[in-house]
Amino acid sequence: MFPIGDDNSDVFITPYVNYGLIAVNILVFLLLQQAGYNDQFTYAFSLVPKEIVTGHDIAGTELIRDMSGQIIGKITLEPTPFSVYITFLSSMFMHGGFMHIAGNMLFLWIFGDNIENRIGHVRYLVFYLVCGFLAAAGQIVMDTGSTIPMLGASGAISGVLGGYILLFPNNRVRALIFNFFTTVPAFVAVGLWIVLQVIESYLGSGEGGVAYAAHIGGFLGGLILIKIFAIGTGTGGGGRYLPPKY
C-alpha cells in the first residue's frame, strides 16, 4: 500500500510541528549523515539493542549471526560520545538511504497534519516522540542481544498511523494498492499496511533489513495513546476538530 494523499478538508491549522519533523529528518540525513556516506556518525548514533539492555557502549567490529549461529556478516560500531540512551532520540531522525527517507517523509506528510490538527502542536510532538520510543522498545524486546543498529522514523510514523486509523477511520486516502490507483477509507489503507507488517514479521522477512517489530510496536503505541492525547479536544461548527490551545 503506497499512499499519495488524503482528505485534508478538516485541517485548518498550519502543521508547524509536522513540517519541522520532516525538515529535521532531511537535514540530519543530508548534513550529518552526508546522505548516507558518513558511516562514523551513523554507527555512533544509531540505536543498538544490546547497548540499551546492558547500558554499555559497544565499539569495534561485531560479527552478525543468523538464527542457527552461523556468521553471515560483520559490522563496525562507532563509540557513542554521549549516553547510549540518547540513541533512542537520535536514531528516530536518521535513515539508511534516499528511498528510506523518501518513503517515511511521504507517510509523515500525508498523515501527520491530521493528527496535529486534532490534538494540537505540543501534544503532537510529544505523541510522535513517545511512539518512536515505544517502537524502538518493541524491536529491542524481540532481540535483546542484537548488535545490529536500528535507525529511521518508521516507528514513530507507525504511531501516527495508529492514531490516524482510530481518529479518522473513514477519511478518504488516495493510494496505489498493489498495481492500481484507488481511493479507499483510511481503515482499509492503513489496515492493509499493518496487516502486511504482521505477515512480514511472522514470515521472518525482518532479516531483509526492516524492523517490523518496531513498526508494529509503534502502531500499537499510537492506537493506545491517541485517545489520551486527544482528551480535551472536540468538534466545533460543521464538525471540524478544535485542537487544545497552547
Q: Cα 51 from chain centroid?
A: 21
Q: Cα 166 from chain centroid?
A: 17
- pLDDT per residue as tens digits for the range 41-70: 999 999 999 999 999 999 998 888 776 778
CB neighbours of 45 closer than 8 A, spacing ≥ 6? 80, 86, 87, 90, 91, 94
CB neighbours of 27 closer than 8 A, spacing ≥ 6? none
Whole-prediction pTM: 0.90
pLDDT band at 208 (very low <50, low <70, confident <90, very high): low
- pLDDT per residue as tens digits for the range 211-241: 888 999 999 999 999 999 998 876 433 334 4
